[in-house]
Amino acid sequence: MIKCIAIDDEPLALKQIVNYIEKTPFLNYVEGFDNAFSAMEFLQQNPVDLMFVDINMPDLSGMDFVKSLDNAPKVIFTTAYAEYALEGFRVDALDYLLKPIGYSDFLKAANKATLWFGKLEPEVSTLKADEEFMMIKSEHKIIRINLSDIKYIEGMREYVRIHLTNQKPIMTLLSMKKVEESLSNDQFMRVHRSYIVNLKRMTTIERMRIIFDEKVYIPVGEQYKEKFQEYLNKNFLI
């Protein structure tokens, strides 16, 4: 895994980057800092692979901080100002994230880091032992997932995030197409380019949106509506 630190003088921005690092399977969060000087002191005794560095910080900017380091770790800059992009690449930055930063943009930048370090693993197929569970690889571990525990599966570029009823989501390097081919059509249905749902876990459908809880509304994509409507028609109690 790629060992990472994050540096940002804005507490909420730092918290967001730390959260993104922690939920990305191939990144290992080590420490976070609200100023460059503390990070510099930490690096003297604790080598890391990758830094997420805010450019606009008081006293010592992120750019000057990186320039001051001998044998600096690889860096991905974060900032609210697009005009720093060219200077960032001049110091051999892997990427440049413009605030506000969405997770999809963060993941794309993190993937560049895995390619640079040569640690991006090839796609791993699900290993189905029977119709009740599947085995996937995540964070260098093989994990058994009971199909009945899956609420829905979310596609995120080269990855999928499996949302479960009784634990935090699990992310793995796998395509939505491979997942769709591996799961039972009687229990799971792809309803959107980015979503596969467990039909047995649905409780409410409103205006072609599947509602799992007050925060999760999954839209049914145009090309999937006919098949989804057929399923609903077959299961109406008349």
Q: Per the CATH hierarchy, to which homologous superfamily does domain 133-235 belong?
A: LytTr DNA-binding domain (2.40.50.1020)
Domain 2-117 shares a fold with domain 133-235: no
Judged on CB neighbours under 10 Å (0-12, 13-18, 19+), 46 is exposed
Single-letter residue type at 55: I
Burial class (CB in 10 A: 0-12, 13-18, 19+), 16: buried
How far is 39 from 53, CA to CA, in rounded Å?
10
Residues 2-117, CATH architecture: 3-Layer(aba) Sandwich (3.40)
Q: In the chain, where are the structural domains located?
A: 2-117, 133-235
Do the beta carbons of residue 51 and residue 5 sit within 8 Å?
Answer: yes
pLDDT for 212 beyond 90: no
Q: Give the model confidence (pLDDT) of 140-169 as tens digits.
A: 677 888 999 999 999 876 788 899 988 888
- CB–CB of 201/165 below 8 Å? yes
Distance of alpha carbon 84 from alpha carbon 130, whole angstroms: 53
pLDDT of 8-61, one tens digit each? Answer: 999 999 999 999 999 898 899 999 999 999 999 999 889 899 999 998 888 888
Residues 6+ apart with CB under 8 A from 150: 162, 163, 164, 165, 188, 198, 201
- Report the mean per-residue pLDDT for the chain: 85
